[in-house]
Chains A and B, each alone.
Chain A
Amino acid sequence: MITGVPLRLILSAFGFMLAGMITGNIYMIQLGLVPLLFVFLGLVVRQPTKFAIEPPSPSISVDIGDELTITRDVRVEDGIGLVTLGEELPPSFELVKGSNIQAFWKQPGAAALELRYRIRCTRRGTYTLGSLQWESRHPLGMVATRIGSLELNQELIVKPRTLRVKRIRQQKVFTKIPMPAESRIQMGVPTTDFKELRDYSFGDSYKQINWKATARKQRSSLPTVNEYEKEGRQLVYVFLDTSSRMGVGTTISNCFEYAIQATLGLSEFYLARGCKVGLSLFNSRPTAQVRGVEVERTIRQVFPDGGKVQQYRIHRLLLDAELSISQMSLKEATVYARGHVLGANPLFVVVTWVCEENLGQLMEGARELSKYIRNRRQRPNILVVNVSGYELVSDGDKAAQAAQLLEFKESHLVSQLRGMGLMVVNWHPLKQSITEVLLSQVRGV
């Protein structure tokens, strides 16, 4: 489509020609040729229309906070003019170097254009880089700009950063890092560990019948069988707080991101040691209503299991985890997962930020958790990782002092939890890694 510019020039040209005709002036008619020829030559030149792209790899995976260089090789076959290439990025990403929109002057003949820029992936999640937009302009703007897109279909996975928890040898002797006390489960292959005597039920093996015990019974119709412990794996159940308070900090460095890192690190630690790990997202400050509408009581969880597949499941859940994604309290989440932890005497890990607003709810949840624990060896079976967020929003000395004061003010809350028999670990993400925090619990180090 022709734009207004050549039409204006054509009108000028015909103005001259008409004036020349009326006045019988050959020079005016000839002058009219200047804009007319310009328009003609301008329209002979064509803008680029044929674009092709080197297909990118279908998936890129990076850790949160990592920098990523994105390169797109575009081939333009024809035309002359201004070519603009651009790609839409997720809003939270930071442009580190270059620009995601770049302009090139396309010379005659085929040309290879390279769109290259560097971004920092500041938010977890799975993103789709669907298409590369192109825009082609006529060199003189005489023809309307053409726009189009080239398919990319590239998936960008921004993973939460995993905090590697080091293995401590002979941990039972040296460390206070809790491990699940037992490895009993309701179902599974029976071991040789005797559990109890019970009446025979359909399906029991004859080998299990305890004849002496049956003989001692008088007038009982059913024989007595030996019940053995089932073979199972130690169980760890992690609860991650998704309350809005956890969002304190910047997009990259906030309490929730660190809590996710800790959750992922601990999950991998326990999974690597053959434990079954479950994960529930809870909300220590659930919202009852939003604008008069009752909020749906949702929960996100991964039921306990072991191995690489479970690691992947946990990873996917954490990848999509958002603040307030769950609206169930710790107690409700525990009740919801009860069927999976009952009788297994698991280790519970609660990752949260302990504060006055959620203390009551956490204590209530801890009481519910303790119902599923048989603490035979006086080992703590509830570990609370307290991710302190004050320092994440403090900048400068004065703010740091204020943050320390606030932390001190809230230290008695942690004491109250410890008074209930919970093991509470305070983690200051900017000062120390989760490994250092857990190592500080090691005796004799």
Chain B
Amino acid sequence: MSRFYVRSFEAIITILGSFLAVNSFFSTSLYRAISESLVGLLGRYNVLTTSTQDVTLYAPIMLSTLVFLVVIYDYAVGKPENMIDIYEINLVLITPELLGFSKINWLNLIEITQVIEPTRGPTYVFFTGVIVLFGYVCLLFTARARETYGELEDRGVGPRQLNSIFLQQNKASILLALASAAVSGIIFICLPTLASMLISFTSGVGYGYLVFGTAAVAVIFLSVVTYLIEQNDEQKRESPISAK
């Protein structure tokens, strides 16, 4: 029964994530530019018919079908690699809309201007990204829990214990994913207020974006590396028993 619940949750999160990602892609100016270019291309080679003129109408249906077929296949197989596939597809689909909010438009350098423009609000796009990432983390860990289930089953652990463990393991991963998504959301909501408080301090520094941004990422990176090294050392100190 626990497997059924988890599978249902996976199905919901997969469909929701993929729907939001596909929706995000079709909401971008990039998609509009691609479909218009396609119509122009077909017209240039005189293959423009009544049906090909409606390519902007059929393309979303065809692309959505393709995406959902791949996603359903990956969901059915249910291995961690397949869950990563789902995430990567969704990531590719939401990236254009996310890039629409970039302050540095690198495409200007190659003289392709106004290809990526935001068509929806940043809150909507940000939370779409959060749901996609939440789905990725949840699906990755439910797939791993399923692997643990199979491994313990092969070793002879009884079904009652297996179901209980499977449920608890998934609960833990979903709760932690929810917590991290919630904290990210809170940071997103609080950031404008924080930014307005810090603007007086940062506006005086030349190239503030590079100075503070690079410094912040470097600090985060170093903190993570230090934390991981510390974790390793601590575990080595604690456990003289060889780890499996």
Contacts and interface: CB of A to CB of B under 8 A. Distances in A.
B214 interface: yes
A6 B134 CA distance: 15
B99 A23 contact: yes
Contacts of B140: 5
B26 interface: no
A105 B104 contact: no
A17 B220 CA distance: 10
B191 interface: yes
Contacts of A102: 157-158, 161
B99 A145 contact: no
Contacts of B213: 21
Interface of A: 1-2, 5-6, 9-10, 12, 14, 17-18, 21-31, 33-38, 40-43, 45, 49, 80, 82, 84, 86, 98-105, 135, 137, 139-141, 143-148
Interface residues of B, number: 62
A23 B161 CA distance: 49
A38 B157 CA distance: 29
B244 interface: yes
A23 B103 contact: yes
Contacts of B168: 105, 139
B244 A147 contact: yes
Interface in B177-234: 177, 179-181, 183-184, 187-188, 191, 209, 213-214, 217, 220-221, 224, 227-228, 231-232
B165 interface: yes
B55 to A, nearest CB: 30
A34 B184 contact: yes
Contacts of B180: 33-38, 40-41
A17 B217 contact: yes
Given A14-B221, A49-B238, A27 B157 contact: no
B152 A37 contact: no
A23 B102 contact: yes
Interface in B57-109: 98-99, 101-104, 106
Contact of A103 (B103, B126, B165): B165
Contact of B235 (A38, A141, A143): A143
Q: Which 10 A-B pairs have the closest CB atoms?
A: A24-B103, A37-B180, A23-B102, A24-B104, A38-B180, A105-B168, A34-B133, A144-B243, A25-B102, A139-B172
B158 to A, nearest CB: 6
B158 A30 contact: no
B137 A43 contact: no
A23 B104 contact: yes
A38 B176 contact: yes
